[in-house]
Amino acid sequence: MDPAYDPQSWQNFYIVAGGAAAALTGLLFVAMSLHAKTIVGNPVFANRAVGTLISLLTQLFLSFAVLVPGQALVALGIEVEVAAVFFLVISLRAIVRLGPRPGRSLAGSRLRATLEIVGALAWIVLFVASGISLVAKVGGGFYLLAIVMLFMFGWNVYIAWILITEVAD
């Protein structure tokens, strides 16, 4: 079977991804608990914190889903697609809820805010495409999902760092 559509070929990758997601979730939770009052009191900080935790938990869920023995590829593709659509809804909701507000520093600059939005949109498009790819068995399958997972890790580390630096200011 083509490794792009064979979950067995990806076991080691998803064992590592699940372990890393679990470790980062725990570390982030501890770091956020040290500044809980500040994070909860600011909608931008709270949004970043909750979004990062949900993203890491999603990576953990996806790792578990890939590692379920004997699961049909179509079922796995549907699970990936449900997670992708969930993130699309969460992201759109956060954008609408937080929206532009005078005097609010999103990330220090308009360029940085634009790059964050473009990065998030690119990630969501790839995430949705990976679920479709697994169901249809075209377009890269697990290779595309691996790119999504790696992007998620990088994005989560970036957002966690931004959160920590913003809370420290």
Task: Please give the residue range of the domain that contains residue 53.
Answer: 3-98+107-168
Task: Report how far residue 121's alpha carbon sits from residue 133's, in angstroms, rounded to the nearest whole number.
Answer: 18
pLDDT digits (tens, 9 = 90+) for 87-121: 888 878 877 776 655 444 444 577 877 887 888 88
In this prediction, residue 140 carries a pLDDT of 95
What is the total count of domains within the chain?
1
Task: Report how far residue 95's alpha carbon sits from residue 67's, in angstroms, rounded to the nearest whole number.
Answer: 33
In this prediction, residue 109 carries a pLDDT of 75
Low-confidence ranges of the chain (pLDDT < 70): 98-108
In this prediction, residue 137 carries a pLDDT of 96
Could you tell me if 51 and 98 are in contact, meaning their C-beta atoms sit under 8 angstroms apart? Answer: no
Phi, psi of 74 (to 5 degrees): -65, -40
Phi, psi of 140 (to 5 degrees): 115, -25
**147 Cα distance to chain centroid:** 12
